[in-house]
Structure 1
């Protein structure tokens, strides 16, 4: 195995677990800072949601960082967690954070569906939400699919932004890697980060393996000019590390003209 690194551009503390999974498979890893996650100061909308937390029938959380922000706030307002709330998470890492911080059972997308909003919305308990109060905890911006679909299914929806994403200009080492295409694979799990990094990717970089966590991101990658997307079976460290192995240029059995389904 050559010493060209796998570049991971996952923001926040989850990057460490991803790096460990890659290293466990024998890959050299470099972490590229492309985005910072910053908690938003509590405003009137947040305060109202936390005070009324016991009035929500369902709480949907989109990311581990959103789960951390929510757990910190709920702990301040509710020393004893209200009962009768069903919790939902888009991915396993978010569910694990909710369970660790709040001790709650969490509904996840059906097995094999991937860690996506579409997969979560396939759950039977989210099909009819007639007048149920639903809290959606997320970051600023992001995809509107969850909010729009839950509202269309009858939910009395409160969408609460608890953090912001701030894009960072790549530091010189990462910029040089992207300019030269000098890496084994690039791992990206955010469309916003992918669009951001594409500005620095050379023709060579666009022909290197790109590991993404959904077919939606693979489609976006194609529009940005990436020629070798590999779709992981999810956004977990293990799934992404497995996809790096599948997309490895030294693997003779990989057909890079097709999207790997993971």
Structure 2
């Protein structure tokens, strides 16, 4: 899609360590990427808690990774013995990017949905329907959704968490966004989580002006959060929060507006 987005200014709110792929795609299409991370991914404050859970990894038969962040930070906590233990388990991933991150590190993934990057899609897999006797460990960030664990438990599994990272609000100056808006250099804001959207609002002293700016969001649920918090501008909904899906939705929106 060479130059299809030429002249468009897109705010990229992914964590700084995860923004390069989307930034590159935007640049190839002629858009200007404005990097403004609204979430930072960091290790837990007390890693000893996670390490204590992982010390008992051999008691489980299944490990499920919620995200690529869970892969990155979870694997960093495993010594060689625990790495070998993990390879003996059935491994699940909520989404293709998470599965790819595991496979790149040498961990085969048996359970992964082919479509949406959601707990709901994972729970629709045939393998997750009858789980009597299963002992499952979910690798996730602090304060994640409870839907996955609760649903697996209702299907007969014993489920525990290991929280291997946390999401924090970055401390950065948001005035640059307001200045761009005044200069009509802020066309659309890309948001990939409801938490990120709420962080964006909290980072602005007076956020009302931003609620008229179009949003590119990675799910229907994020779009609903945007409306509930007062956004009145266009909301472009991608099929999922991957770079490819976000670009496809953005390109379609631009073509419709021409």
What TM-score do you get using the length of structure 2 for normalisation?
0.86
Q: Structure 1 residue 202: deviation in Å?
A: 5.0
Tell me the equivalent position of 1:229: 235
Q: Structure 1 residue 158: deviation in Å?
A: 0.9
Tell me the equivalent position of 1:217: 222
Residue 132 to residue 162, structure 1, CA distance change in 2 (3 Å): same
**Rounded Cα–Cα distance in structure 2 between residues aligned with 1:174 and 1:49:** 42
Tell me the equivalent position of 1:24: 28
2:196 corresponds, among 193, 197, 215, to: 193
Q: Structure 1 residue 54: deviation in Å?
A: 2.8
Alignment of 1:72-221 (within 5 A): 72-78=76-82, 80-111=84-115, 114-171=116-173, 172-177=175-180, 182-199=185-202, 200=204, 205-221=210-226
Residue 181 to residue 55, structure 1, CA distance change in 2 (3 Å): farther
1:11 corresponds, among 10, 15, 38, to: 15
Q: Deviations over 1:27-70 (max 9, x none)?
A: 110110222111124224x2343222233222111111110112
Aligned length: 249
**Rounded Cα–Cα distance in structure 2 between residues aligned with 1:181 and 1:169:** 25
Tell me the equivalent position of 1:257: none
Name the SS of the counterpart of 1:80 in structure 2: helix
**Rounded Cα–Cα distance in structure 1 between residues aligned with 2:172 and 2:86:** 43
RMSD: 2.4
Name the SS of the counterpart of 1:107 in structure 2: coil
Q: Deviations over 1:186-231 (max 9, x none)?
A: 1111111101213437555323321111111111111112232111
**Rounded Cα–Cα distance in structure 1 between residues aligned with 2:187 and 2:10:** 5
**Rounded Cα–Cα distance in structure 2 between residues aligned with 1:138 and 1:82:** 15
**Rounded Cα–Cα distance in structure 1 between residues aligned with 2:12 and 2:110:** 28
Residue 186 to residue 82, structure 1, CA distance change in 2 (3 Å): closer
**Rounded Cα–Cα distance in structure 2 between residues aligned with 1:10 and 1:29:** 11
Q: Structure 1 residue 168: deviation in Å?
A: 2.0
Residue 18 to residue 146, structure 1, CA distance change in 2 (3 Å): same
Name the SS of the counterpart of 2:105 in structure 1: helix
Tell me the equivalent position of 1:51: 55
